């Protein structure tokens, strides 16, 4: 396999692939295809405090400080406190709706996909009523069904990544039994029947998600009509585990086995970041990320090997520098993304990549172009601190920024 900045062995440039993806999205919009591809997503919900960590104060005015800009510097500050103590100041820039599910579903809605969301977005004292902070999210969706109160995350933002400190107790109320109680089994079947995309994220923090997978496998998915609508759009499942580092190998093997059984009913795409890809490969006993001349070649090869071992329809791995994927048709691809060392917002970048990639998959774009769309949605989001609409996305793809050089990243 030859790795290039293109995503195909034929040498097509990343710019050409991005422009072709933008053209395909314009055709889908003009042809009314977006309205024919509704999505159902769930099931978590968090309130995200976007936080900067103070390095040195210039004055006691709240915003007059120099932040800690990198995770290693933050880790050093914490490590220096061992055997002593430390007072680390956090400045909250804003509190916004969050959770992997709402960020993923909100991105789909902004792109024009009619999206229904079911999840932990309700009030503490009336969990079937929408918490007001989620109203902007609800306006992006066709319908939002609250079934529990949200959990909480402190998102520490740095130039080279983020540290998510989650307090996930509330989302443990999201279970198959709660879904059936609030939505009804017939209601769940109806939502799935009309949807071309079923997106389920955050297995890691939501203990009930695997039970939801099992309930869908047992009670919903076998009764669905053909996997394609009259317009020819495939029905697909999109899964993001959402950083399973804290879960045991046994838990992860069990999750992958359940997804394998789901894949026998509907094609499943599993989306992983680089660390998740390495963990899943190890748990499956796959020799991956070795003997490759570049990151892109290694990710592409790892996607091929992990997908083959897992038996899933599609496996995508997205490091910050781009994304690689492989599917059960034998296709594989790598796309170098528009990495920026200075994002306005990084929390939610992976969720936006997943939204763009699964959106493009359902519209039938080739694998390379679906990767370009995923990278484009994420790239626009981190630069704008706003989910792109379709016009912003296609414009971004047509003028795709180059990836910044490694030296710039270290700075």
Model confidence pLDDT, tens digit, residues 38-73: 999 999 999 989 999 999 999 999 899 999 999 999
> How far is Cα 147 from Cα 181, in angstroms, rounded to an integer?
9
pLDDT in tens, 219-259: 999 988 544 444 456 799 999 999 899 999 999 999 999 99
**Structural domain harbouring 297:** 14-50+98-410
Q: Encoding tokens for residue 118?
A: 């079911």
Write down the pLDDT at residue 226: 45
| Paired sense of beta strands 332-336 and 322-327, if any | antiparallel
Number of structural domains in the chain: 1
Q: Which of 381, 385, 362 is nearest to 25 (CA)?
A: 362
pLDDT confidence tier of residue 2, bands split at 50, 70 and 90: very low
> How far is Cα 106 from Cα 100, in angstroms, rounded to an integer?
10
Q: Is the pLDDT of residue 95 over 50?
A: yes
What is the CATH classification number for the domain harbouring 161? 3.40.1190.20
Q: Encoding tokens for residue 141?
A: 């969706």
Does 43 sit behind a cis peptide bond, omega within 30 degrees of 0 on the bond before it? yes
In a domain, 150, yes or no: yes
In a domain, 3, yes or no: no
CA end-to-end distance (rounded Å), the chain: 33
> How far is Cα 399 from Cα 389, in angstroms, rounded to an integer?
16
Across all residues in the chain, what is the average pLDDT? Answer: 91
In a domain, 280, yes or no: yes
Write down the pLDDT at residue 230: 40
In a domain, 43, yes or no: yes
Q: Is the pLDDT of residue 411 over 60?
A: no
Write down the pLDDT at residue 232: 53
In a domain, 254, yes or no: yes
In a domain, 209, yes or no: yes
Q: Is the pLDDT of residue 409 over 90?
A: no
> How far is Cα 316 from Cα 314, in angstroms, rounded to an integer?
7
- Helices and strands, number each (H, E), in the chain: 14, 14
Write down the pLDDT at residue 12: 79
- 8 Å CB contact between 176 and 200: no
In a domain, 282, yes or no: yes
- 8 Å CB contact between 115 and 140: yes
- 8 Å CB contact between 210 and 201: no
Q: Is the pLDDT of residue 134 over 70?
A: yes
Write down the pLDDT at residue 11: 60
Write down the pLDDT at residue 233: 60
In a domain, 84, yes or no: no
């Amino acid at each position: 396999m030859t790795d290039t900045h293109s995503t195909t062995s034929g040498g097509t440039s990343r710019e050409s692939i991005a422009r072709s993806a933008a053209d395909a999205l314009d055709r889908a919009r003009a042809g009314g295809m977006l309205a024919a591809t509704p999505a159902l997503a769930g099931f978590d919900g968090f309130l995200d405090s976007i936080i900067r960590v103070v390095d040195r104060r210039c004055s006691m005015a709240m915003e007059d400080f120099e932040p800690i800009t990198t995770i290693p510097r933050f880790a050093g500050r914490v490590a220096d406190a061992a055997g002593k103590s430390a007072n680390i100041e956090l400045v909250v820039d804003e509190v916004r709706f969050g959770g992997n599910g709402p960020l993923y579903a909100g991105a789909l809605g902004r792109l024009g996909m009619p999206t229904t969301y079911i999840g932990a977005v309700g009030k503490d004292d009336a969990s079937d009523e929408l918490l007001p902070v989620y109203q902007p999210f609800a306006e992006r969706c066709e319908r939002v069904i609250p079934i529990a109160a949200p959990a909480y995350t402190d998102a520490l933002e740095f130039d080279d990544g983020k540290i998510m400190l989650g307090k996930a107790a509330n989302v443990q109320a999201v279970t198959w039994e709660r879904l059936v109680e609030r939505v009804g089994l017939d209601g769940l079947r109806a939502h799935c029947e009309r949807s071309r995309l079923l997106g389920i994220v955050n297995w890691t923090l939501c203990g009930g998600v695997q039970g939801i997978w099992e309930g869908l496998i047992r009670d919903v998915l076998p009764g669905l009509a053909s996997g394609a609508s009259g317009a020819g759009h495939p029905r697909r499942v999109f899964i993001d585990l959402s950083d399973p580092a804290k879960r045991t190998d046994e838990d992860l093997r069990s999750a992958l086995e359940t997804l394998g059984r789901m894949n026998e009913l509907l094609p499943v795409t599993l989306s992983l970041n680089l660390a998740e890809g390495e963990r899943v490969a190890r748990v499956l006993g796959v020799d991956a990320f070795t003997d490759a001349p570049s990151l892109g070649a290694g990710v592409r090869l790892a996607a091929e090997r992990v997908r083959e071992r897992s038996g899933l329809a599609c496996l995508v791995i997205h490091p910050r520098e781009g994304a690689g994927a492989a599917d059960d048709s034998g296709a594989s691809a790598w796309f170098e993304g528009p990495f920026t060392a200075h994002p306005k917002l990084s929390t939610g970048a992976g969720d936006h990549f997943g939204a763009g990639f699964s959106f493009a998959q359902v519209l039938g774009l080739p694998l390379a172009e679906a990767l370009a769309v995923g990278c484009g949605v994420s790239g626009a989001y981190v630069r704008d601190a706003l989910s792109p609409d379709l016009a912003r996305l296609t414009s971004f793809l047509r003028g795709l920024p180059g990836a910044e050089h490694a030296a710039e990243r270290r700075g």
